[in-house]
Structure 1
Amino acid sequence: MQFSPLSNTLRLRSWSCSASQVSSSVWSAFAGNFDDGSSHLTSTDDQELLLAYQTPSPSIREWDCKRVQKWLEESGLSHYISLLDWLDGPLLWELAWHRIRACDVFFLNLEYSLNMSQQDQVLLFNALSRLTSVE
């Protein structure tokens, strides 16, 4: 994914990766939220299944820019609204898919293109994963 503020375009690169290639810092951030001692994401297969079942709802494609901005606000990412004011439903849907298809590249590009902190990356990751249940 590359963001160019001059052209207001988002270019998604189509690299694929297995869940085992997901940034370890992101997985550890998720694991850090669980203090019950149970096992989490114990194998690559478990991780791949988790990602495969987090596909975005097709209804996301119907959102306009205003609805995406509202979603950013609801997700605790309102400080990115001005940077992503061009992001509409079809592009958000592609971004949600890109999170699944190209995990490492997804996180590297968030940091590079938007200077997104690790905490905000986890917030966005969680928010994108919740797009599965949107109707």
Structure 2
Amino acid sequence: MVGGILGLVGVTITLFYSFFNDKRSKKFQLQLESDNENFQNTLAIQEHERRIWMKKYEVLVQLIGSRYDFSSTEFKRAFNSVPAVFFDSPDVIKSYKNFYSYKSNSSVDDGLANEKLVNIFVEMYRDLEIEENVDETDLEKIFDTN
């Protein structure tokens, strides 16, 4: 009889421990799944931000590379994409609008137009956080192959 009671107590303790352990295990598993989902979301956001950064960088390089000829297809294409690519960069957009409105004027001083264009480049460098070694005087120099 004592053996039966001890066996029943042992089974009860085992069932209680098993239930408690199973509950902890499920909670831990849910936490792991949540952490994994958060990690995957973070990776997706970082990848999206990297792609936007690369697109911005490509536009900057295209603009700088074709700045010697405002009428070139490359320059126009890159310049027209600035509002779409730098949509979240108010300083770049402001410089862009400033240059565009000045360049749209019939009487344009090329020196001032170049200065306004360089200002766009500087703002783009800042937005991309790569302005550390940028010298505005280098951006003003243009190597013209014509």
TM-score, structure 1 length as denominator? 0.26
- Give the structure with the higher percent helix: 2
Identify which of structures 1 and 2 has the higher relative contact order when contacts are C-alpha pairs closer than 8 Å and 6+ apart. 1
TM-score, structure 2 length as denominator? 0.25
